[in-house]
């Protein structure tokens, strides 16, 4: 159901407490699954009470906020739970490039949620009746080059590093894609189940065909409190505990990775400071260890000064230096010139927002765009002046393995 701004009908919304639903992802029917789950908590949804394609351009977040205000403002809400994520909720995915088509907002017909020891079900309109079909394995997976072959992408990395050394910019994040084709249609629920089981510390998400497990929390808003997790600087996991420790120590000591991380932190600090009455950023990053890689990570917390919604903060923060580069405007232009592909929702904001402006939005990393038997996988990394193209290619291939595991098991 596609709903255009100005033509929405009031949505009857009812939220009621429920018993512990167990595995949230196991509750999803086959049609239109939406998800935002970490460590077994979060929200899943299905069906579409309202959906809109957000027009591209620099005003897209303001347009989205206006559309949401109309839909949420006209909703007839009966909410006995009254917590972030209850009542009317929209899931969303925005393209990385503001000029690209593909951004979408969806209000599901049903949302099942669990967090902080509470669980609830929200329905919009009549109770949605969905047919729960068995999850089917996609069968054998074959892979082919995306927009660029591996050697072509290495050449692009070399070009970017040269432009950085020449002083045009400090950092640029370059991505590449890989096309996966399955024997049978790909069931998004299978990917979600595998991702959440293997990467419980990540945010497993599904919005309009964009599926993944991102370690990077762009922003969480709970009332006036906000939180962000900044990741920049990566190394593959080792062959064992000793190798892991050595790799982690080398990452912490790496001038290239530390500078890349500081660029990302500075970007977030500069963006959030005008919105916040208080903001705390750590002096030193810590190591975040995932099953496939280790990251330099920094937790940022703050308090909003003017009651901005989570989408307002998303609009101010995207794109961060962690997924774009420094300075941002120059990096975006270099990406457009060199990368040779449309990122779609990869590295764009993905998450959910409720009628009170609370919500959680991540950066759509470790992800793929699924349609039928085909999945377009994405991975990338931060390029600095001394980046080695072969090493950057290896890092991207390590990141591809997240979605390859989800497809293959």
- CA angle, residues 149, 137, 362, in degrees to nearest 5: 60
Reduced to 3 states (helix: H, G, I; strand: E, B; else coil), residue 143 is strand
- Which of 154, 171, 339, 392 is catalytic? The answer is 171
3 state DSSP class of 203 = strand
Active site residue 399: no
The span from the CA of 63 to the CA of 356, in Å, is: 17
Determine how many CB atoms are found less than 10 A away from the CB of residue 276.
21
Determine whether 360 is an active site residue.
Answer: no
- The number of angstroms, rounded, from the C-alpha of 335 to the middle of its chain's C-alpha atoms is 19
Contact criterion met (CB below 8 Å) for 228 and 217: yes
Strand partners, 240: none
Q: How far apart are CA 33 and CA 135, in angstroms?
A: 13
Tell me, what DSSP letter sits at residue 348?
A: S
Structure tokens at 300: 């940022």
Q: With beta carbons less than 8 A apart as the criterion, state whether 160 and 206 touch.
A: no
Burial 202-241 (b: 16+ CB within 10 A, else e): bbbbbbbbbbbbbbbbbbbbeeeebebbbbbbbbbbeeee
Written as six digits, the tokens of 110 are 């049903």
Cα angle 33, 37, 39 (rounded to 5 degrees) comes to 145
Query: Which residue among 48, 154, 216, 360 is the active-site one?
Result: 216
Q: Which residues contact 206 (CB under 8 A, 6 or more apart)?
A: 33, 34, 35, 188, 191, 192
Opening angle at CA 69, ends 106 and 66, nearest 5: 90
Residues acting as catalytic residues: 171, 216
């Amino acid at each position: 159901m596609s709903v255009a701004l100005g033509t929405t009908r009031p949505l009857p919304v009812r939220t009621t407490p429920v018993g512990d639903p167990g595995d949230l992802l196991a509750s999803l029917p086959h049609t239109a699954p939406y998800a935002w789950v970490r460590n077994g908590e979060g929200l899943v949804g299905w069906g579409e009470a309202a959906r809109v394609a957000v027009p591209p351009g620099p005003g897209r977040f303001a347009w989205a906020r206006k559309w949401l205000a109309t839909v949420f403002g006209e909703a007839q809400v009966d909410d006995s739970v009254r917590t972030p994520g209850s009542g009317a909720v929209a899931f969303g995915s925005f393209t990385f490039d503001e000029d690209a088509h593909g951004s979408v907002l969806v209000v599901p017909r049903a949302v099942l949620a669990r967090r902080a020891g509470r669980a609830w079900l929200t329905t919009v309109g009549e109770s949605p009746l969905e047919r729960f079909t068995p999850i089917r394995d996609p069968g054998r997976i074959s892979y082919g080059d995306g927009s660029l072959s591996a050697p072509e992408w290495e050449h692009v990395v070399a070009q970017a590093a040269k432009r950085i050394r020449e002083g045009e910019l400090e950092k640029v994040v370059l991505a590449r894609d890989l096309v996966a084709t399955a024997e049978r249609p790909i069931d998004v629920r299978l990917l979600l189940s595998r991702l959440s089981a293997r990467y419980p510390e990540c945010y497993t998400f599904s919005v309009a065909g964009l599926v993944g497990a991102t370690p990077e929390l762009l922003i969480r808003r709970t009332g006036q409190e906000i939180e962000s997790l900044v990741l920049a600087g990566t190394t593959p996991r080792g062959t064992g505990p000793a190798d892991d420790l050595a790799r982690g120590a080398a990452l912490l000591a790496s001038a290239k990775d530390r500078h890349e991380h500081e660029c990302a932190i500075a970007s977030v600090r500069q963006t959030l400071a005008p919105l916040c009455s208080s903001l705390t950023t750590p002096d030193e990053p810590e190591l975040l260890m995932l099953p496939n890689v280790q990251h330099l990570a920094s937790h940022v917390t703050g308090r909003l000064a003017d009651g901005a919604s989570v989408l307002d903060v998303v609009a101010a923060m995207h794109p961060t230096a962690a997924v774009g580069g420094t300075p941002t405007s120059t990096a975006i232009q270099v990406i457009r010139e060199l990368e040779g592909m449309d990122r779609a929702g990869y590295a764009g904001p993905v998450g959910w927002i409720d009628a009170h402006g609370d919500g959680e939005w991540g950066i759509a990393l470790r992800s793929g765009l699924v349609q039928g038997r085909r999945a377009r996988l994405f991975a990338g990394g931060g390029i600095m002046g001394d980046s080695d193209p072969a090493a950057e290619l290896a890092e991207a291939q390590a990141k591809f393995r997240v979605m390859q595991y989800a497809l293959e098991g």
